[in-house]
């Protein structure tokens, strides 16, 4: 269930007529003018004139599409995946659903939605879907986003960077909880709306009306209901369905090194940030702790099947570990300090996506991972949110640590007694628990050994040239994936692109379906019939693909896709114990939801690369970003697919597209 990214986290494109298009994780093309007023104290990142949650009450509600529109969109997405006979069958089944059971379910969903105006129709079912999934969160759900290095290289020292990131994270947390974090707003006309004048005005508009005030100047406030789960939060395994736990009273940090777990306070009794020099001293103490790796590292249990982990967690509690587990769960977040240095991008991707399984607590809402050579990333648990909050956090932390670091190379750590301030957690483990950890490690090693990751940097063009050609950069990247897959495997397959619906109250994501009749026709022309079309005809096809993809993107961002609506109707039927209509048992429905190409886009000044695993065994997990003059992809696969060859085919596709845009014929 990738969002990167569903991690499957992660982009935002501003283009004419498009409100916003955000992947599981991303927001904002241009860095908004966040610092309305510089913070008067080092306790806050900034002090927003407009309260953080000012727009939340008046956000528009996520619309439920008309059933006939959903069916029309569903059939349009099915068309390129099916032959004529299959399509005729699917069309009949879909029409039958629309005229019968579907109509009843839809009316019931609309009625239910009217009675729950505080939320969205997708919010409950979506939480349920994530929390009821029994697969390991590793590879199946948790994505990662790595930080760019600090431009001042000496600040990439592991201890210095870890200290600065912890301090900035606390400042972010305090800014958010004080209501001083700038609200998340998507500005279509920043010259009007992203100004101090507008902010001073809008702050006086009652929160029940404030959204309309922003809308008047073409600004779209985004849902921030997920933000409270960033800190002091953990996913707790339970049989059948997990639970989300948050305890805002926790003042301590969880640190992991060599599979050992430590806690110490980073917020004092008055709610202030502990002195940075003291935090540095405590982290230095942990980095120099000679305690060997535990024979049975507890963290690996968080990579297990959720029911297995739930059973073992109950046993941990019975064995007298409840207090230690409570400290893990209520910690502000997890900081994983790795003893390994990274060799290249691929090594970083593997380490940040999964690592060795022992020095992670994958259930924490997010973890900051810092390697020996100062490479940093965030790995986050996906059920509580879609990365919108995580990316904002990452952008703010990167900005704060690089522009206003609180400790420096050569800063002396405070002369404090870290040995008494830092507590290494000890766990009582009986034979059964030791065996459970051993088995979890074997399962983990087996799963990650099958994953291959490779990356591509296409340097011959990017966003600037595409926009000059009046083409959507995202549409062209997606077209290149369609062409690449066709070149490699000779077919068009189900493709998923995550799009945020954060413009609505309790919005989550919607799916853009990038495999269309337009991309299929265009891919066939470029790949299978290169000499049969003139340059002008090929350019016209690129234009058609771009236009239609833009329409799909706009529809998805406005809550007018088909995937979430059909999902909610199926969820409703299941909750009533109703037999599923043949729409849902049609092989074509299974095929379109078996997303062989799972994609998510991310561009941000803070993020170097992001990634996630495929969502099906025979799929690709495609994280990508279209930059001004280059295009990057970070792609994962399991053994049934060849990721290296796929990227060669994508590269060739991009070369062909840019050749045609230059007015040259394909050779």
3-state helix, strand, coil in the chain (%, to 5): 45, 15, 40
Distance CA 9, CA 172 (A): 21
What counts of helices (H) and strands (E) characterise the chain?
23, 18
- Which of 594, 615, 596 is closest to 140 using CA atoms? 615
Paired sense of beta strands 509-512 and 495-500, if any: antiparallel
Which residues does 182 contact at the CB level (< 8 Å), separation at least 6?
Answer: 32, 34, 35, 36, 46, 48, 50, 52
Q: What is the residue whose two structure tokens read 């599979």?
A: 259
Radius of gyration for the chain, computed over Cα atoms and rounded to the nearest angstrom: 25
Q: What gap in Å lies between CA 353 and CA 303, rounded to an integer?
A: 12
**First-to-final CA distance of the chain:** 39
CB neighbours (10 Å) of residue 111? 9
The dihedral through the CA atoms of 527, 532, 537, 541 has a sign that is negative
**Which H or E run includes 235?**
strand 233-236
Choose the catalytic residue: 46, 350, 354, 382: 382
Nearest to 363 by CA among 444, 452, 286, 300: 300
Instruction: Compute the distance between CA of residue 35 and CA of residue 180 in angstroms, rounded to an integer.
Output: 10
Structure tokens at 221: 């406030």
Strand partners, 49: none
Which residues lie below 8 Å from residue 332, measured CB to CB, with a gap of 6+?
169, 170, 173, 231, 232, 250, 251, 252, 253, 254, 266, 267
Q: Read off the tokens for 58.
A: 């008046």
Residue 271: count other Cβ atoms within 10 Å of its Cβ. Answer: 11
Q: Return the C-alpha torsion angle 253, 391, 451, 257, nearest 10.
A: -20
* Rounded-to-integer distance, Cα 484 and Cα 490, Å: 9
CB 624 within 8 A of CB 10: no
To 5 degrees, how large is the angle CA 601–CA 606–CA 610? 35
Cα 316 from Cα 431, distance rounded (Å): 11
User: Phi and psi dihedrals of 409, rounded to 5?
Assistant: -60, 130
Length of the chain: 667
Any idea which residue has 């009273």 for tokens? 249
Distance CA 401, CA 166 (A): 9
Helix residue ranges per DSSP H, 23-181:
67-78, 84-99, 101-114, 123-132, 158-177
Give yes or no: 382 in active site.
Answer: yes
- Convert 590-604 to b/e letters by CB count within 10 Å (16 or more is b): ebbbebbbbbbbbbb
Neighbours of 25 (CB within 10 A): 38
- Nearest residue to 665 (alpha-carbon basis) of 529, 461, 477, 523: 529
Which residues are marked as active site?
382
């Amino acid at each position: 269930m990738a969002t990167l990214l569903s991690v499957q986290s992660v982009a935002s494109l501003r283009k004419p007529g498009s409100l916003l298009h955000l992947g599981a994780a991303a927001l904002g093309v241009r860095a908004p003018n966040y610092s309305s007023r510089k913070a008067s104290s080092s306790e806050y990142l900034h002090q927003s004139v407009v309260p953080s949650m000012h727009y939340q009450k008046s956000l528009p509600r996520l619309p439920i599409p008309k059933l006939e529109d959903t069916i029309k969109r569903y059939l349009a997405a099915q068309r390129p995946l099916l032959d004529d006979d299959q399509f005729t069958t699917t069309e009949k089944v879909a029409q039958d659903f629309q005229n019968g059971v579907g109509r009843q379910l839809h009316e019931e969903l609309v009625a239910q939605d009217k009675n729950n105006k505080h939320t969205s129709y997708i919010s409950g079912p979506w939480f349920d879907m994530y929390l009821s999934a029994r697969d390991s969160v590793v590879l199946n759900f948790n994505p990662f986003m790595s930080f760019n290095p600090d431009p001042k290289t000496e600040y990439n020292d592991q201890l210095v960077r870890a200290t600065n990131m912890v301090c900035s994270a606390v400042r972010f947390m305090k800014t958010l909880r004080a209501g001083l974090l700038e609200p998340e707003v998507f500005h279509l006309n920043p010259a009007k709306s992203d100004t101090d004048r507008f902010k001073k005005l809008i702050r006086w508009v009652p929160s029940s009306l404030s959204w309309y005030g922003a809308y008047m100047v073409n600004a779209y406030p985004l849902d921030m209901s997920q933000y409270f789960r960033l800190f002091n939060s953990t996913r707790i395994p339970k049989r059948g369905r997990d639970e989300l736990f948050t305890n805002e009273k926790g003042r301590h940090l969880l640190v992991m090194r060599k599979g050992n777990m430590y806690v110490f306070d980073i917020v004092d009794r008055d709610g202030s940030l502990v002195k940075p020099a003291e935090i540095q001293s405590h982290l230095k103490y942990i980095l120099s702790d000679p305690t060997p790796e535990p024979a049975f590292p507890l963290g690996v249990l968080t990579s297990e099947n959720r029911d297995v982990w739930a059973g073992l967690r109950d046993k941990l509690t019975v064995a007298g570990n409840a207090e230690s587990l409570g400290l893990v769960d209520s910690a502000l977040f997890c900081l994983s300090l790795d003893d390994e240095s990274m060799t290249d991008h691929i090594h970083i991707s593997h380490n940040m996506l999964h690592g060795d399984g022992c020095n992670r607590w994958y259930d924490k809402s997010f973890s900051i991972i810092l390697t020996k050579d100062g490479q940093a990333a965030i790995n986050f648990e996906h059920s509580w949110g879609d990365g919108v909050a995580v990316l904002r956090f990452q952008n703010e932390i990167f900005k704060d640590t690089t522009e206003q670091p609180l400790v420096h190379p050569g800063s002396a750590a405070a002369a404090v007694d870290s040995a008494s301030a830092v507590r290494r957690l000890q766990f009582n483990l009986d034979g059964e628990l030791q065996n459970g950890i051993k088995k979890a490690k074997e399962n983990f090693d087996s799963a990650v050994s099958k994953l291959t990751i490779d990356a591509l940097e296409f340097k011959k063009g990017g966003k600037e040239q595409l926009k000059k050609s009046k083409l959507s950069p995202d549409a062209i990247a997606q077209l290149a994936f369609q062409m690449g897959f066709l070149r490699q495997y000779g077919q068009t397959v189900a493709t998923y692109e995550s799009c945020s619906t954060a413009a609505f109250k309790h919005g989550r994501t919607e799916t853009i379906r990038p495999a269309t009749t337009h991309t299929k026709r265009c891919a066939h022309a470029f790949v299978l019939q290169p000499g049969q079309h003139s340059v002008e005809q090929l350019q016209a096809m690129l234009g058609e693909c771009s236009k239609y993809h833009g329409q799909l993107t706009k529809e998805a961002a406005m809550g007018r896709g088909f995937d979430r609506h059909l999902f909610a109707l199926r969820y409703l039927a299941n909750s009533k114990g109703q037999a599923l209509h043949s729409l849902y048992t049609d092989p074509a429905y299974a095929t379109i939801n078996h997303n062989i190409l799972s994609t998510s886009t991310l561009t941000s000044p803070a993020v170097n690369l992001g990634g996630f695993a495929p969502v099906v065994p025979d799929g690709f997990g495609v994280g990508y970003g279209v930059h001004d003059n280059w295009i990057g992809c970070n792609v994962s696969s399991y053994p049934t697919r060849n990721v290296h060859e796929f990227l060669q085919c994508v590269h060739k596709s991009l070369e062909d597209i840019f050749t045609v845009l230059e007015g040259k014929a394909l050779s």
